[in-house]
Amino acid sequence: MVVSFSVPPVNPLAAADNSFRFFFASPNFLEFGRTRHAPLCRSGTLGHLLVETRGCTMTRTLDIRNPRTGANDYAITPLSREALEARCAELRAGQPAWLALGIDGRAKAMLALCDAVDRHYDAILKALCADTGRYEWSVNEIEGLKGITRMRCATAAEALAEATGSSSDPTLRFQQQHVPYELVGIISPWNYPLILCMIDAITALLAGSAVAIKPSEVTPRFIKPFRAAIAEVEHLRDVLDVFEGDGETGAMIVDLTDTLVFTGSVRTGRKVQERAAAQFKTVFLELGGSDPAVVLDGAEPDFAAEIIVRGSVENAGQLCCAIERVYVQRGVYEAVCERVVARMKALIMNTADIKQGEIGPVIFARQADILRDQLADALAKGAKVLAGGRIISHDGGLWCEPTVLVDVTQDMAVMRDETFGPIVPIMAFDTDEDAVRLANDTEFGLSAAVIGEEAKAIAIGSRINAGGLWINDFDTMGGVGARAEKTAFGCSGLGGTRYGYGGFRRFLRKKAIVIRSVAA
């Protein structure tokens, strides 16, 4: 480990260069990701060395793993608290002028960002591919960012319209005024680095807020080329920034912003909520899921299998709304299992060529351990593997084979916890009541899918505790996200919808101006 200090001279006669570099590790160090660093204090102990930290700056360097090679081939240096405070103050200072642009002016700047992203397209794509080890979904992220931005710009004026009204008293009326938070913080995950750092930033910016983003330290390579695109956009560069950093940086973002959107795990979401609550700040948590798919008797097996496989292996299963539990009514169980297995066995991992194959690597190495543990737990409790079943290593990278499990039970980790991998556990059920009971046997409530005759599928799906329900499809919010709204149930999240008009309005505080007309 390397710790760098720059210590100002004690007096004018001191040497001009008072920098020190220490190479050591100590049990006193706190683990953060792949780095270790000393606790910050006025007078700190580093290992066995006492250092007066007043007036010092400490630089932390985080090594970043490449998911295709397993090698640490990139590094980031998180900002100090002082530097982050200064930049957040600049973003706040730019917010009044940004708000004064009006909705049309802000939309114009956001559309200019799409053009800037196109100018930096190759650099952003190269960085996303290195971050995630997959090509097709990296292209989709960039195109998706532009598509969502244009959609949100088209609906912003209607979504942000302020109301006026009167009362039964003709001398009394009101105006509804929207007051955006000055500075919105966003902490985003590693599975879709670009789109998930911006999906909420777009609406916050159009609503009139400034935005500070801290993406995951697992996938930070895209930040530099994306910041270069932002820097080209007049006005926007004064109110939007993206910061490299780790969990400590994220904690500072919570402290330095007025409200926050966190997308990630339930465990970290609890910590974010606790820290924000202590400061009376509202946070919006977009957390995990263990989303069920229910297949009813009468469903066409090939059609059902296509939805199940697509919903389970998108981005190698590394998405919050992936189908992770499959319940098939007994009348079509064998046929659906057979077709799911055939489709899963036909999938190709992109080990040899990043542009060839549907299954990319496990992006975060620790996630591979979770997948191994869930598979081992399932097999130990009697599950049977019909396809895949292994985590494989190739040139240092880790891939999860497209996997199908049967003879699964509700007590298995793969049926209870978030999986985040291309694993499909399939269980048979008999009655509609069984389907609802099994689908709701979870602490999560993000999304669900029901496949079958439309009216019956809607009736059953309406009883499932989930914020998003796909009938005879999977993850089609993008097609209706301009107006449709959904919130998470259970441990899958907290706060207002990120979709529809509510996706704008959650970044606004409402002020009612009540006016009494007084006769002259």
Contacts of 280 (CB under 8 A, 6+ apart): none
pLDDT score of 74 more than 90: yes
The structure tokens listed for 407 are 């003879």
DSSP 92-117: HHHHHHHHHTHHHHHHHHHHHHHHHH
The structure tokens listed for 103 are 């909705």
333/328 Cα distance (integer angstroms): 5
Helix (H) or strand (E) holding 512: strand 508-516
pLDDT band of 162, cuts 50, 70, 90: confident
Of 499, 501, 494, the residue nearest 260 (C-alpha): 494
pLDDT at 481: 67
Of 239, 407, 466, 423, the residue nearest 318 (C-alpha): 423
Q: How many CA atoms lie within 13 A of 251 on its CB side?
A: 12
pLDDT at 402: 99
pLDDT at 380: 99
- What's the whole-number mean pLDDT along residues 453-477? 95
426/327 Cα distance (integer angstroms): 6
Q: Where are the domains of the chain?
A: 2-60, 81-287+498-512, 291-480
Of 479, 435, 267, the residue nearest 366 (C-alpha): 267
Contacts of 304 (CB under 8 A, 6+ apart): 295, 328, 332, 336, 339, 451
The per-residue pLDDT of the chain, averaged, comes to 89
Q: What are phi and psi of 23, to 5 degrees?
A: -115, 95
Right CATH for 291-480 from 3.40.50.12280, 1.50.10.10, 3.40.50.300, 3.40.309.10: 3.40.309.10
16/512 Cα distance (integer angstroms): 59
pLDDT score of 16 more than 80: no
pLDDT band of 519, cuts 50, 70, 90: confident
Q: What are phi and psi of 492, to 5 degrees?
A: -85, -5
196/141 Cα distance (integer angstroms): 9
Comparing 28 with 138, which gets the higher pLDDT? 138
Beta strands in 296-377 (DSSP E): 323-329
Positive or negative: CA dihedral 504, 85, 78, 42: negative
Give pLDDT tens digits for 357-370: 999 999 999 999 99
Tell me what percent of the residues of the chain surpass a pLDDT of 70.
Answer: 88
pLDDT band of 37, cuts 50, 70, 90: very low
39/333 Cα distance (integer angstroms): 56
Right CATH for 81-287+498-512 from 3.40.50.720, 3.20.20.70, 3.40.605.10, 3.40.50.300: 3.40.605.10
pLDDT score of 235 more than 80: yes
pLDDT at 22: 26
Claim: this prediction has a pTM higher than 0.75? yes
Q: How many CA atoms lie within 13 A of 271 on its CB side?
A: 11
pLDDT band of 165, cuts 50, 70, 90: confident
Instruction: For tokens 């351990």, name the residue.
Output: 369
pLDDT score of 14 more than 90: no
pLDDT band of 483, cuts 50, 70, 90: confident
- In this structure, are strands 259-263 and 283-286 parallel, antiparallel, or unpaired? parallel
30/7 Cα distance (integer angstroms): 22
pLDDT band of 38, cuts 50, 70, 90: very low
33/363 Cα distance (integer angstroms): 14
pLDDT at 171: 87
Instruction: Decide if 509 contacts 259 (C-beta within 8 A).
Output: no
Residues annotated catalytic, as ranges: 286, 320
The structure tokens listed for 343 are 């489709």
pLDDT score of 129 more than 90: yes
